[in-house]
Amino acid sequence: MKIVMLGAPGAGKGTQAKMLSEKYGIPHISTGDIFRMNIKNNTELGKKAKGYMDAGQLVPDELVVDLVVDRIKAKDCMQGFILDGFPRTIPQAEALDYALNNQNEKIDYAINVDVPDEHIVERMSGRRACSDCGATYHVVTIPSKKEGICDVCGGTLVLREDDKPETVKKRLEVYHEQTKPLIDYYNKKENLLKVDGTQGIQVVFEEITKVLG
């Protein structure tokens, strides 16, 4: 099963993608996580991406398309994958379709986790992410067992650099301009699944898996 997660920053794409990845046994590929790992390891890619990310802007298409197209050719993607945060622009979606088409494959579901802007800033300011393994928490809805410490690996939980309210507003603007048109793109291909992302995490998950099987 080949899945794309759509939705505004903070809609819960990553949260649902991790749960779906476990249920269906297919890899969760988050371009944001890949960039953050590269920034942490101070790679050339990380150095190029950091300025854009900290400003709430998109990293240029040419830095992300080949990376994803290569990643989905890996052996662990033979049974499918869940893309989280990619595609984010129409050219990225077209490049993905082109690469899949060449192998006689296609995206099975584009899942739009729908959350209105007014919910987003509050969600983001409460999010905490592990600086070691990337696991995500929320100070109110999903707190870690021990404050500031990751349940999974014992790493330190931090507020993401781009989760400051000013940057979140910029990310939302960029989302509306460049990423939201993808909803229409996948709707036309008749593989769009829309889910109300303001509901509880488990309810959202059940609504998605009811359709995916």
What is the rounded CA–CA span in Å between residue 77 and residue 71? 8
Going from the C-alpha of 174 to that of each of 3, 50, 171, 178, the distances in angstroms are 23, 16, 5, 6
Q: What does the block give as tokens for 195?
A: 């889910």
Match 């899949």 to its residue by tokens.
100
27 or 126: whose CB is closer to ligand AP5? 126
**Binding to ligand AP5, residues 84-123 (CB under 6 A):** 85-86, 88, 92, 123
Which of 2, 88, 123, 128 is flagged as catalytic? Answer: 88
Stretch binding ligand AP5 (CB under 6 A), from 40-48, 148-156, 183-191, 200-208: 200-208
Q: What share of the chain is helix, strand, coil (3-state, %, to 5)?
A: 50, 15, 35
205 DSSP assignment: H
**How many of the other CB atoms lie within 10 Å of CB of 85?**
23
Does residue 88 have an active-site annotation? Answer: yes
162 or 192: whose CB is closer to ligand AP5? 162
| Site membership for ligand AP5, residue 13 (CB under 6 A) | yes
**How many of the other CB atoms lie within 10 Å of CB of 151?**
15
Stretch binding ligand AP5 (CB under 6 A), from 37-45, 136-144, 148-156, 187-195: 136-144
Distance of alpha carbon 113 from its chain centroid, rounded?
A: 11
Size of the site for ligand AP5 (CB under 6 A): 36
Does residue 160 have an active-site annotation? Answer: yes
| Site membership for ligand AP5, residue 208 (CB under 6 A) | no
| Site membership for ligand AP5, residue 157 (CB under 6 A) | no
Candidates 138, 150, 157, 186: give the one binding ligand AP5 (CB under 6 A): 138
| CA nearest neighbour of 13 among 175, 177, 144 | 175
| Site membership for ligand AP5, residue 64 (CB under 6 A) | yes
Which of 2, 13, 36, 128 is flagged as catalytic? Answer: 13
Which residues are at the interface with Mg ion (CB under 5 A)?
14
35 or 109: whose CB is closer to ligand AP5? 35
H-assigned helices in the chain: 13-24, 31-40, 44-54, 61-71, 90-101, 117-126, 165-174, 181-188, 201-212
Q: Is the dihedral of CA 141, 147, 153, 157 positive or negative?
A: positive
CB of 13 to Mg ion, least distance (A): 5
Which residues sit at the interface with ligand AP5, rule CB under 6 A?
Answer: 7, 9-15, 30-32, 35, 52-53, 56-59, 64, 85-86, 88, 92, 123, 126-127, 136, 138, 141-142, 162, 171, 197, 200-201, 204
Residues annotated catalytic, as ranges? 13, 88, 127, 160, 171
